[in-house]
Amino acid sequence: MTLFVCFMMLVGVPGQSQPPGTPPGSGPSTGAPSTGVQRQPGTPETSPSIGLGGTHDPCIIREGNTWWLFSTGVGIKVQRSNNLVDWQPAGKVFQSPPAWAMRMVPGYKGHTWAPDVQFFDGEYHLYYSVSTFGSNRSAIGHATTPTLDPDNPKHKWLDHGLLIHSEKRQNYNCIDANLCLDEKGKPWLSFGSFWSGLKICALDSEAGRPIEGPIYNIASRPGQAAIEAPWIHQKGEYFYLFCSYDNCCKGIKSDYRIMVGRSKKIMGPYVDKTGKPMTEGGASEILAGKGDVHGPGHNCLFESAGKTYLGYHFYDGANKGKPTLQVREIDWKDGWPEAGRVLTQPGIPAAK
């Protein structure tokens, strides 16, 4: 595939779709708050009641009767579950670091960040981040496989290499990718961490590469850079942009929290409950830490049997601040998501 470097013009946008395709047999797939942030009462329980230790930046997707969890790690960690509660190791995506990534990003040695896996056009598409901490010399790679099950003879990850990248001279950071389809089935890639905030660009429907055109600014925090990890989820007539505010990766000192805004167009403008644009620091809070649950963030969303679920990591104060997976329901009220109950036992309904 032809490489395309994401050196396009940044554009702000003034003023009914579908999620990525459904896999076969699956359902549809410390800083003070800045001005414009609305807090919600839903917070994690004061003691973690469920979680998979050692999980960072989770992405959960279903194939058949199995849930698959991808997370940050050497080669990208993979785990599997039949109920979203009990997880077993299932290997990793890359047995050795992608050579192109080691050449492009000095200091990268295979610890690969923030995987996003989506199903469309008959394949599972993986978007992964290559970087080093505190730098925007970063890249997003792309790989595909016909099945997620390593026991299936057809299972094989084909790495297509570089998708987009950023350099020190630029004011954005190409990590934390998330793929979403618009109302016409056209793929869009959102990404971003710190610097000037969160971005989105269109991809070519056939080749899956960025097309010539603008990069849209979809969320930022003027005067405060700590925003990252976009995830766009379509529900009804709206696209919902979830993201993480403040700081991760500091154990029990992490103050990550999950925020949201919505728009009727995938490229924005996204606004919070008061109508304040997310490009101006507007955002409504979904989750913040409490008790031994520190810094919940870097979320994913998925649907099953008519319900929406939120997966994210937090830092477990009862376990030396270990990053831990938690999954909970999302309740919808007046067109806005709210944090629901944490899953503590098996019994997730099958997808329909």
- C-alpha distances in angstroms, 323 versus 48, 57, 315? 11, 9, 5
Helix (H, G, I), strand (E, B), or coil: what is residue 158?
strand
Contacts of residue 302, Cβ cutoff 8 Å, sequence gap at least 6: 29, 60, 61, 62, 308, 309, 311
Contact, 242 vs 38, CB < 8 A?
A: no
State the Cα–Cα distance between residues 104 and 27, nearest whole angstrom.
38
Contact, 243 vs 198, CB < 8 A?
A: yes
State the Cα–Cα distance between residues 91 and 93, nearest whole angstrom.
7
63, 176, 182, 228: the catalytic one is 228
Give CA 291 to chain center in angstroms: 25
Which structure tokens are listed for 183?
């109302």
Catalytic-residue membership of 228:
yes
Catalytic-residue membership of 57:
yes
State the Cα–Cα distance between residues 226 and 87, nearest whole angstrom.
31
State the Cα–Cα distance between residues 214 and 47, nearest whole angstrom.
45
- Is the omega angle on the peptide bond into residue 48 within 30 degrees of 0, that is, cis? no
Q: Which residues of 271-295 are buried (b: 16+ CB within 10 A; e: fewer)?
A: bbbeebbbbbbbbbbbbbbeebbbb
What end-to-end distance do the CA atoms of the chain give, in Å? Answer: 36
- C-alpha distances in angstroms, 103 versus 99, 108, 253? 6, 9, 34
Which structure tokens are listed for 55?
């999980």
Give CA 217 to chain center in angstroms: 17
Residues designated catalytic? 57, 228
